[in-house]
Amino acid sequence: MARKNKAESEPKSLYRRRENIRGYVFMLPWIIGFVVFSLIPFIATIVLSFMNVSSTVEGYSITPAGFSNYYTAFFRNTEFVPALLSFLGMVIPYTFVIIVVSFIIAYLLNKIQLGRGLMRTIYFLPVIIMSGPVMSQILERADESVEAAQGMSGYEGVFILEMIRSYSPAVANFMEGVFDELTMILWFTGIPIVLFISALQRINHTLYEAAKIDQANEWQTLWKITIPMVKPTALVATIFTIAQLGTYDTSAIYNLIKTATGNTQSGFGFAATYSWIYCLVVLIVIGCSFLIFREREPRRRK
């Protein structure tokens, strides 16, 4: 064909231009969508957070408000700062526990032969059915049963916990929180487990053989080979987990943004401020995890 022959005989720049055009033809729908529904909204949210938005009969009336929305969010509204703190208090320990637990499960799953398919099916199941309403039904049920069974707290008088509490109440509270919502935390491990398993299987077998010849034991190979090799995957899993937790329906901040969005009379400016601060916090957390996994050994695991 004529077109084909030309492409081969013409200088490279023409070929490149062609590649350019072709690439953009296929990318076009996504690029349009990205610009219209992601890039512009993202910038607009930042702008709106400095505005007063009220919806009137002939559309939205937008007036500049300076920093008043931020001032309201941090100093006047009594719900926002606690909600933000409780979100941080949830996302950091949860992510840590989720990543560690899913790595352990993946490591163990990689060691067995029989029934591993079945096991993986079970561990992956929550990914399929997890949605906000289902989770809140399950959590509600858990709350009711715990209260019904033991009154205030289910862990009153557990010896080890009391022992830890006498040293550091903060650690004990953290552990209580983790155990309270263990099921929920575990349900977030579905995708990280699968990611870790595939990372473990991609590790070159010869590394382990070399280590074995050098008389390294299982524990040493775990720390010197396995964990360094899965570190990049741990980063991906962390980002995935934070993103999932960030859009998790029952967190307080999420509901705050939701109600602010629903309040069309005055809420849009505030809602934009809320969600922008929230987004910033999520991005900072993701940035921190990036630094932790990039620069050095994951110190927290040791």
Partner 1 sequence: MKSFRDSSGVIMVGKRPLRWYGRLAVQILIYFILIIIGFVYLEPIFEIIAKTFMSADDIIDPSTTWIPKKLSLDNLKIAADVLDIWPTLLATVLFSGAMAAAQTFVSALTGFALSRYKFKGKSIWMVMLVLTFIVPVPVLMIPRLMMFVTAQEATGIQMIGTVLPQGIMALLGQGVYSAVLILIFYTSFNMIPKVLDEAARIDGASMFKVFWFVVVRISASTILVVFLFSFVWNWNETYITGTFLRGHLPLLPGKLALFNSEFDSVVSAQGTAFRLNEAYKMAATLLSISPLLLMYAFVQRKFIEGIENTGITGE
The residues in 98-127 that bind partner 1, with binding defined as CB under 8 A, are: 101, 105, 108-113, 115-117, 119-127
Report, in Å, the least distance between residue 280 CB and partner 1: 9
283 in contact with partner 1 (CB under 8 A)? yes
CA atoms within 13 A on the CB side of 92: 14
The C-alpha torsion from 5 through 6 and 7 to 10, rounded to 10°, is 130
Choosing from 10, 42, 259, 288, the residue that interacts with partner 1 (CB under 8 A) is: 42
Site for partner 1 in 224-253 (CB under 8 A): 226, 232-233, 235-236, 239-240, 243, 246-247, 249
Choosing from 14, 41, 171, 263, the residue that interacts with partner 1 (CB under 8 A) is: 41
- Nearer to partner 1 among residue 32 and residue 163 (C-beta): 32
Which one of the spans 26-34, 66-74, 92-100, 166-174 is the region binding partner 1 (CB under 8 A)? 26-34
- Residue in the structure block whose two tokens are 């008088």: 157
Contact pattern for partner 1 over residues 66 through 85, marking x by CB under 8 A: --------------------
Choosing from 6, 10, 34, 301, the residue that interacts with partner 1 (CB under 8 A) is: 34
208 in contact with partner 1 (CB under 8 A)? yes
155 in contact with partner 1 (CB under 8 A)? no
The C-alpha torsion from 74 through 76 and 78 to 80, rounded to 10°, is -30
Report, in Å, the least distance between residue 294 CB and partner 1: 13
Those residues with Cβ within 8 angstroms of residue 63's Cβ, 6 or more apart along the chain or in another chain: 51, 52
Choosing from 6, 10, 81, 140, the residue that interacts with partner 1 (CB under 8 A) is: 140
Which one of the spans 73-81, 88-96, 154-162, 281-289 is the region binding partner 1 (CB under 8 A)? 281-289
Site for partner 1 in 158-177 (CB under 8 A): none
- Residue in the structure block whose two tokens are 């990689």: 110
Residue 52 sits at the vertex; the CA angle it makes with 44 and 76, to the nearest 5 degrees, is 110
- Nearer to partner 1 among residue 14 and residue 36 (C-beta): 36
Choosing from 12, 76, 205, 302, the residue that interacts with partner 1 (CB under 8 A) is: 205
